[in-house]
Structure 1
Amino acid sequence: MTDTSISAPAARRVPRKTEAELSSLIESVRGAIRAAGAVPPERDLAAGLGVKRHQLRKALKVMRETGEIEPHAGRAETAPWHELAHATNPLEVIELRSVLEPALARLAALRASPLQVDQIIAAVEDADESDYGGADLRFHKAVADGARNGLASEFYRLLRAVGTDSRLRLGLPSDVCPKRRAERDAEHRAIANAIAARDPETAEREMRRHLANVQAQVMDRLKV
C-alpha cells in the first residue's frame, strides 16, 4: 500500500514570478470590488487597474472558482457576499466555520476520491508562501470539495468570501508571523494525513483543533 502521508518539507518552495503577480492582481481586484460593491465591467476594471484584459481574466477565473464572484448573464458580475459581510464579523464567521468544517473533514475522509485526496495533499505540499490567505483557502476548499456534498461546498465558498471581506473591512492585519505559518502548515498536514488514511475521527478532530487555533488568533487580533 502506498504511503500518502506528508512529511515536512526540507526547504521552502520559491514561488514563481507569475504566481506572485497573479496573487497581487487578485488582491487589487478584491479592493476594487469592495469599493464598488460589485464587479465592474471587465473593460472598466482592467483600465482602472492598469492591466491587460487577458491578465484580468486569469484573476477573475480564480475568484469565480473559489466562489468570491459569480457570473450573471447580461449584466455586470456582483459580489453575492457583499451585503452579508457588512452584517457579520470575523468571530461569527469562524464560529460557523467551526461547526461546518469538522463535518466536511470527516466526510472527506469517508468520501473523497483518490484524485481529491491528491488535491488535498497538493494544497499542503504546494502552498504558496507569498499568498498566505490564498494557500489557506485552497486547502480548505479542497477539503470541502472532498466531502462530495455540492450544497455544503458552495455554502463553504460563500462563507469564506464573507469572511475575507469582513476581516479586511475591520482592518485586521494581513501579515502572519513565521511561527504561526509553520503551525498552520503542520495543522493542515495533520488533517490531510488523516483524510488520506481514511480516518474520519482524526480528520474531524484535527480540523476542530486547527479552527480553535484560528479562532484564538482572530480574537487576539481584534483586541489590538
Structure 2
Amino acid sequence: MPVKEAREHSTDQAAVTDLIRKAILDGDFAPNQRMVEADLCAQYDASRSAVRAALHELTAQGLVERIQNRGARVRSVSLDEAVEITEVRMVVEGLCAAKAAQKVTDAEIEELTALREELTTSVAAGDVFGYSRANQLLHKRVREISAQRSADEILERLRGQLVRHQFKLSMHPGRMSVSLPEHVAIIDAVCARDPERAEAAMRQHLASVTAALADVAEARQG
C-alpha cells in the first residue's frame, strides 16, 4: 500500500474510533447494546476494516466487549467494578493533584479560581448539568496542569468506563452540596501550591465518591 494511502487509512480508523467512543460516552449507545459492524459502517460512512479496528481499540479501552458468537457490544460496568476503578483513580488523581500544585502557573490559578466560582454558582442555581460539566473540567484541568502523561492516559481510560455511573451520581439528590466543598478544597490547595494538601483533598473527594456510588445503587434498588 502506498504511504499516502496508508496514512489516509490510518487516519480514517482513528477518526472512526473517536466518533464511536464519543457516542458511547455521550450515551448514544446503551450498556449491552450490540455494535453491529454493518450498521456502524453505514452510520459513520466508514470501511469495514476501519470499524473493526475501532472496535478492537475500544475493547482494549474497556468500553466495548466481544461475546463469543454474538459479536461486540457496549460493556456494562457493575457497581463493584465502578468502586474499584474509583479507588484506582483515588491514587492516580491524588498524584496528579500534588504535581499540579507544584507546577500551577499564575494564569492557571486564575482559571481554577473562575472554575471554583462556576461550581459554586451552579450549586446555588440547582444547575446539575452545569455543575457536572464544571466538575469534569476541573478533574481534566488538574490532570493537564500536572503534566503527568502516563497518569492522564490511565485516567482517561478509566473515565470512559465510569461515565454512566458518574452521571447517575451527579443526578442524586443532595450530591452537589456534598461534593462542592470537596472540589473547593482541591482548588484551594492547588492554588496555594500545597502538594500534600492537594493530594489529600483529591483522595478525600474520591473516597466520598466511592461511598456515594454505593448509596445511589442502594437507593435505586430500594
Identify the TM-score tier after normalising by the shorter chain: 0.5 to 0.7
Flag the 1:87–1:164 CA change in 2: closer, same or farther, 3 A: closer
Regions of 4+ moved over 6 Å? 25-28
Q: Give distance in 2, aligned partners of 1:155 and 1:149.
A: 10
Determine the C-alpha separation between the residues in 2 that align with 1:109 and 1:97: 18
Among candidates 16, 22, 29, match of residue 32 of structure 1: 29
Cα 1:37–1:27 change in 2 (3 A) is closer
User: 1:197 offset after TM fit, Å?
Assistant: 0.9
The alpha-carbon distance between structure 1 residues 125 and 107, as it changes in their structure 2 partners (threshold 3 A), is: same
Match of 1:81 among 31, 55, 62: 62
Task: Check conservation: 1:108, 1:147, Cα contact below 8 A.
Answer: yes
> Residues 29, 99 of structure 1: CA spacing in aligned structure 2 closer, same or farther, 3 A cutoff?
closer
Alignment correspondent of 1:20? none
Name the residue aligned to 1:59: none
SS in 2 for 1:75: helix
Tell me the equivalent position of 1:223.
Answer: 218
Aligned-pair distance for 1:113?
Answer: 3.1
Partner of 1:175: 171
Q: Deviations over 1:177-215 (max 9, x none)?
A: 2x3312212211111111111111111111122112111
Q: Structure 2: which 5+ residue stretches go unaligned?
A: 1-21, 66-74
Distance 1:28 1:206 in 2: 27
Number of the residue aligned with 1:185: 180
Measured on the aligned residues, the alpha-carbon RMSD in Å equals: 3.5
Alignment partner, residue 100 of structure 1: 92
Name the TM-score, length of structure 2 as normaliser.
0.62
Q: How do 1:127-146 residues align onto structure 2 when only pairs under 5 Å count?
A: 127=119, 129-131=127-129, 132-146=131-145
CA separation in 1, counterparts of 2:133 and 2:212? 18
What's the offset of the Cα at 1:37? Answer: 4.6
How many residues in Structure 1 have an aligned counterpart in Structure 2?
A: 169
Whole-Å separation in 2 of the counterparts to 1:204 and 1:173: 22
Contact 2:25 2:160 in 1 (8 A): no
Question: Identical aligned pairs, as a percentage?
Answer: 24
